[in-house]
Chains A and B, each alone.
Chain A
Amino acid sequence: MVQLSSNFLLVSFFMFLAATIFFTVSITGKKFENRQGQLKNKAGLLGYISSVVAVVAAITYFILRWIAAGHAPVSNMFEYTTFLGIAMALAFVIIYPIYKNNYIGLITMPIVMLIIVYASMFPTEVQPLIPALQSIWLEIHVITVALGQGILAIGFVGGLLYLLRVIDFKKVTKKVIGVEFILFTIFCVVGYILFSISFGAMNYEATFDYINERGNEANMVYNKPPLVGPNEGVLTSDTGFNPLVSTPAIIVSNDLNTVIWSILGGLLLYGLLLLLFRKPIGGAIQPLLKNVNPRSVDELSYRAIAIGFPVFTLGGLIFAMIWAQIAWTRFWGWDPKEVWALITFLFYAAYLHLRLSKGWHGERSAWLCVIGFALIMFNLIFVNLVIAGLHSYAL
């Protein structure tokens, strides 16, 4: 059953790929005359159908895995991140019919694919639930949060599209650097995935003896070639080489090593594209977007946030508090994850006030949407993996 569910996820992935291709064609491809003599391009519709099929397949994965495991597949990094990707696609599928904007599909679909592949870099087997997670509130709380974040992510897509459309890429300004940085970050994720898959396929493993932060001897496994080594590390495996530098004991050096590989990957991809286009990547994309109506994209992104914000608040704060009261005896305990959920809430609250009362439309609103999504990702990745807390069982 687990295998079957994974197959559905795979099908879903390829349908997202198909949707990406169709949306690309819908924008770059020629328009054809239909019988009524209207210029039409069916690719957008095909893209939407593909994305709907992909979401249906993904939901089938979700249900099958739920049945197989006995709990909703939202209990660890792989499962949650995958579901976040699915939620984002679902939000797109719901919003698309309102605005019929193929450009949103063009950006959403690759990001959904990236999120799902990123998720599969974490251990994917079905894990038993520890007692703290054995509650119906696991399903209620986590699914609602993911849906909320998925809808908010569409706001980010709208914001990014807006920026790519309106910013003047001819001169290198702070804004251009900002947009390029967003794209570079996405390339880093791609780099991380590519390196993880290639070294994973090689079963690469280098091990070190080192002195940990408590002054004890320990060993550490690297899954990527060690560019930075652990504190007083000594290579004990045949594979690998002596790293260029050693880190202080307080830094988890194999994680840092992975981060460095990701950045290198991002730089490589970015550099190649820069060589190819000989202008900022955003500037290379911009001509494709000349038919985007900025006001419509701006409204779409605001709409997504206005819809997603209550859902996120309900799941991430209200349901979270109810469950915390049942499982941890108190509804609020200033655990890092709780605090970052509150920060996300406050951020979007500030966004809504700025937009409604201070008239932050257009570009400023778009930047805020991007920052909001960065906060969501920060809370997912950094707070889970780096700032340990009560939620850190979630790996």
Chain B
Amino acid sequence: MEKVKCECGHVNPYGTYLCESCGKPLIEEDDSLVNMRYEGVARRSQTYKKTIVDKIWNFFSSVKVGIWIIVILLLASALGTIFPQEMYIPPGENPTIFYEQEYGTLGKLYYQLGFHNLYSSWWYMLLIAALGVSLVICSLDRVVPLHRALKTQRVTRHTKFLEKQRFFATSEEAIENAEEVMQKAEKALREKKYKIYNENGNLLAEKGRFSRWGPYVNHIGIIIFLIGAMLRFFPEMYIDEYIWVRDGQETVIKGTDGEYFLRNDQFIIELYDEEDERFREALERTGSPVVQTYQTSATLLRRVDNGAVGLGTELEEVKQHDIRVNDPLTFDGFSLYQVDYKLNELSEFTFTLEAVQDEVEEDLSEIEFTVNLYEPEMVYEFDNGFRIEIMQYFPNYRMNDGVPETINRIPDNPRIIFEVFTPEMDPETDTGEISLIGVQVNEPLNEQINGENQYRIRMIGVDMNNVTALTVRRDRTLPILAVGGAIFMIGLIQGSYWYHRRLWIQNRNGVLWVAGHANKNWHGLEKDFDYVASKSQIPVPVDQLDKDMSDETESRND
């Protein structure tokens, strides 16, 4: 690769369009305006085309490729919203049937193509990865030479450079007070907060150069954000658990290795007052009550390490908080969110024993007992010698192929098998009367053995409890995402709300040459020129694109 030496003496890297120092076009083109993008610098992607690394680099360094990645990502994302993603179909629905049943053949196809989990599919991930690579390479390919070019730019520019700027004018012939005009122009430009560089009586006024770095800063932000998002696939970084806590009960907070516990002091739901003047009309129209608050009054507890292993856990209160939607309980990097609830879960049954026929002589009036449905006691003994045992307990009963079983430990459909021993019986050897009891269920089970039951356990009371569901979340990637997001926003604002403007005013033997360039907001540059001209009689540059307003010149220039 040969370096290119400009007539001004500056040695430019191979592939340079405009001399980094004086701006003379090194590659002669037609008489259109110079292409000022990236200051006409040589970019790696345009100069090295040999090895496989070069080829990959060149591919991803193309903004065109970057735009295609953005467009494909955009279309793919839209595709995923045609039908709901799997996580948003109604709970309990089987996706294999749901999509076809709900959306017909298209739905089936959608499912078969895997679009029900589109955003976590390998190819969507690959697209995002490609976007990341494109961002890095595009940025590096441009920012390094651009930085060098802006640093080495000279005040005195080649005439060819000046006359091929979009804003350009000369005074045509030498004017007498050229130096005075230059001084006035300089003063006016200083008022406009331009940085002034002088060289041999020529002038470069520049402002807002830092906005040129905006795109690169925001790309760095996106990269940091994407890295943060990727880190969540490492187990330590991200915890997502779910706990149910009953009113008045304590439970260990999953994901904290048994260190933290939560007590649900009370869960409540509040509805909007239908009499509230503000909302009466709306509430009347919808006709159904609207929830105002879901709230769990919770106490956070922490295990105290007293050195004695296995001696039970001692808990100390850490803090109390009313957890609501939009107001999680936060501690030690964890957050507990109000996400669900269950009202009126069965918690206790109270029973008595009574005789089926009246001729039993024992006094049964004392017999009354309560079974806790979460952790029932298995044996109940009474003063008059009766003894009732729980043989089996199914908190959430169902028959599975003729065998009774429980689905889980939640007492949604509790069934208890009781065995009743009269004072005469020996619980070790005798078999008592056995019955299966649940809500609206009371079946003697050993009729075949003993004939008809003499005693009957009757349910006289039911106690219920509210249960709250909380999501336990710890996301250690959040600080990284926040940093990435902040850098991105700063870069975006830096590049969008400031503009890089340069004005060249040169005194060539009394002939004034004026040219200007803005990376955007030419309107603002024009106003600045007008201001300077009003103060100093410099020739007012014309927009050379306005000479020919057709679209062809526009696209040629760009």
Residues of A within 8 A of B (CB): 2, 68-70, 98-99, 123, 125-128, 130-132, 134-135, 137, 166, 250, 294-296, 299, 302-303, 306-307, 309-310, 313-314, 318, 321, 325-327, 329-331, 333-336, 339-340, 342-343, 346-347, 349-350, 353-354, 356-363, 383, 387-389
Contact = CB atoms under 8 A, between A and B. Distances in A.
Given A130-B291, A329-B335, A336-B81, 17 more contacts: A68-B278, A98-B523, A128-B278, A131-B324, A131-B326, A295-B545, A313-B492, A321-B481, A329-B339, A330-B473, A334-B87, A339-B80, A346-B77, A350-B71, A358-B63, A361-B555, A389-B88
Contacts of B80: 334, 339
A85 B162 CA distance: 45
Nearest to A126: B278
Contacts of B31: none
Interface stretch (B280-288, B378-386, B500-508): B280-288
A371 to B, nearest CB: 11
B325 interface: yes
Nearest to A334: B119
Given A131-B294, A329-B335, A350 B70 contact: yes
Contact of B520 (A125, A306, A383): A306
B481 A128 contact: no
B37 interface: yes
Contacts of A326: 326-328
A387 B557 contact: no
B291 A131 contact: yes
Given A125-B282, A128-B290, A132-B325, A354 B67 contact: yes
A350 B77 contact: no
Given A134-B326, A310-B489, A126 B73 contact: no
B521 A303 contact: yes
A340 B281 contact: no
A333 B555 CA distance: 41
B554 A362 contact: yes
Nearest to B491: A310
A296 B473 contact: no
B63 A357 contact: yes
Given A130-B290, A302-B520, A295 B63 contact: no
Contact of B74 (A69, A131, A346, A389): A346
A356 B325 CA distance: 44
B292 interface: yes
A333 to B, nearest CB: 8
29 contacts: A68-B278, A125-B282, A128-B279, A128-B283, A128-B290, A128-B292, A130-B291, A132-B326, A296-B523, A299-B522, A310-B489, A310-B497, A313-B492, A326-B327, A326-B328, A329-B337, A334-B119, A335-B88, A336-B81, A339-B80, A342-B77, A346-B70, A353-B70, A354-B67, A356-B520, A359-B555, A359-B558, A362-B555, A389-B88
B428 to A, nearest CB: 54
A329 B326 CA distance: 9
B81 A134 contact: no
Interface of B: 37, 63-64, 66-67, 70-71, 73-74, 77-78, 80-81, 84-85, 87-88, 103-104, 119, 272, 276, 278-279, 281-283, 285, 290-294, 324-328, 335, 337, 339, 471, 473, 475, 478, 481, 485, 489, 492-493, 496-497, 520-523, 543, 545-546, 549, 551, 554-555, 557-558
B74 A362 contact: no
A132 B555 CA distance: 49
A305 to B, nearest CB: 9
B277 to A, nearest CB: 10
B281 A126 contact: yes
B20 to A, nearest CB: 21
Contacts of B478: 325, 331
B216 to A, nearest CB: 13
A273 to B, nearest CB: 28
A353 B555 contact: no
A392 to B, nearest CB: 11
A131 B63 contact: no
Contacts, number: 151
Nearest to A345: B74
Contacts of B70: 346, 349-350, 353
Contact of B496 (A68, A135, A306, A346): A306
A359 B33 CA distance: 14
Nearest to B82: A387
B275 to A, nearest CB: 12
A131 B325 contact: yes
B81 A383 contact: yes
Nearest to B335: A329
Closest 5 CB pairs of A and B: A359-B558, A131-B325, A357-B63, A125-B281, A127-B282
A340 B81 contact: yes
A148 to B, nearest CB: 12
B74 A350 contact: yes
Contacts of B73: 346
A250 B324 CA distance: 37
A147 B485 CA distance: 20
Contacts of B558: 358-361
Contacts of B87: 333-334
A336 B84 CA distance: 8
A314 B489 contact: yes
Nearest to A378: B78
Contact of A321 (B278, B291, B292, B485): B485
B279 A127 contact: yes
Contact of A387 (B81, B492, B543, B546): B81
Contact of B78 (A335, A343, A362, A388): A343
A388 to B, nearest CB: 8
A383 B7 CA distance: 61
A309 B326 contact: no
Contact of A99 (B104, B292, B520, B523): B523
Contacts of B71: 346, 350
A327 B88 contact: no
Nearest to A134: B326
Contacts of A166: 551
Contact of B272 (A128, A302, A327, A336): A128
A69 B278 contact: yes
B283 A310 contact: no
Contacts of B485: 318, 321
A361 B552 CA distance: 10
A339 B328 CA distance: 25
B316 to A, nearest CB: 27
B285 A125 contact: yes
Contact of A334 (B78, B85, B291): B85
A387 B276 CA distance: 32
A127 B286 CA distance: 10
A21 B298 CA distance: 61
Contacts of B37: 357
Nearest to B328: A326
A295 B282 contact: no
Given A329-B471, A362-B554, A350 B67 contact: yes
Contacts of B327: 326
A123 B282 contact: yes
Contacts of A336: 81, 84
Nearest to B527: A98
A17 to B, nearest CB: 28
B53 to A, nearest CB: 23
Contacts of A303: 520-521, 523
B519 to A, nearest CB: 8
Nearest to A363: B551
A234 B276 CA distance: 39
Contacts of B551: 166, 362-363
